[in-house]
Amino acid sequence: GAVVSQHPSWVICKSGTSVKIECRSLDFQATTMFWYRQFPKQSLMLMATSNEGSKATYEQGVEKDKFLINHASLTLSTLTVTSAHPEDSSFYICSAYRGITDTQYFGPGTRLTVL
Amino acid sequence: DAKTTQPPSMDCAEGRAANLPCNHSTISGNEYVYWYRQIHSQGPQYIIHGLKNNETNEMASLIITEDRKSSTLILPHATLRDTAVYYCIVRVPQTGANNLFFGTGTRLTVIP
């Protein structure tokens, strides 16, 4: 149990376009999901906390208008990178919080490359 | 949340036990110790967590010292697929909101 999926697993886009990444908890409901970013040879950095039915909370330095988060249901959160630029190229990872086990479960990640 | 200190890298022979240490000398009484690992180009995988008693599951064992200032994750029979970065994290339970701070972790390399 406690499986989290992400789609797509990788995406290549042109500079200036927008990209949407989906995060789904497949076998449990998650009122809270998290979005992380990881650059090569670095650790995960939290970008934002996504709460079902309310606005996301962004970490300092993360532009909320550039990284749009929607948590429309208890099993789905989406991250949209708007007007992507090459510096947004990174590995984006989501996690879903399962209250009954008090544990975050992570998705497999999405590798974004902006040309 | 308390910060943790881990060695940057370790090697382990395949089939042998891998013992990964973690120092958390400033841990507070209500903080648990969590271990995750991240295999290359994948999302982190939950391994195990504990408060003060030793814990064991199908993946690993967690040994926490009596003063709770350090712990050791034990992979009893390391395989090549256990090569990954292992993160030791301390957090207050049942807070929901994120307090998973991923430090630099320990890069474990299992050698054939």
Does A74 touch chain B if contact means CB atoms closer than 8 Å? no
| Interface contact B102-A43, CB threshold 8 A | yes
Q: Whose structure tokens read 């999302």?
A: B43
**Region for A80 from its dihedrals, namely left if φ exceeds 0, alpha if ψ lies in -120 to 50, beta otherwise:** beta
Provide the pLDDT confidence category of residue B34 given band limits of 50, 70 and 90: very high
Q: Angle at the Cα of B65 (from B8 to B105), degrees rounded to 5?
A: 15
Interface contact flag, B41 A44, Cβ < 8 Å: no
Q: B29 at the A interface (CB within 8 A)?
A: no
Over residues B79-105, the mean pLDDT reads 85
How far A18 CA lies from chain B's nearest CA (Å)? 23
What is the residue type of B98? N
Task: State how far the alpha carbon of B8 is from the alpha carbons of A86, B5, B21, B87, in Å.
Answer: 30, 9, 11, 10
Least confident interval from A53-57, B3-7, B84-88: A53-57
pLDDT tens per residue, range B35-83: 999 999 899 999 999 999 899 999 999 999 999 999 999 999 999 999 9
Q: Output b/e per residue, A45-61; b: 16+ Cβ within 10 A.
A: bbbbbbbbeeebbbeee
Residues of B in contact with A69 (CB under 8 A): none
Q: Residue with structure tokens 């409901």? A: A29
Region B87-101: mean pLDDT is: 78
* CB contact B66 to A (< 8 Å): no
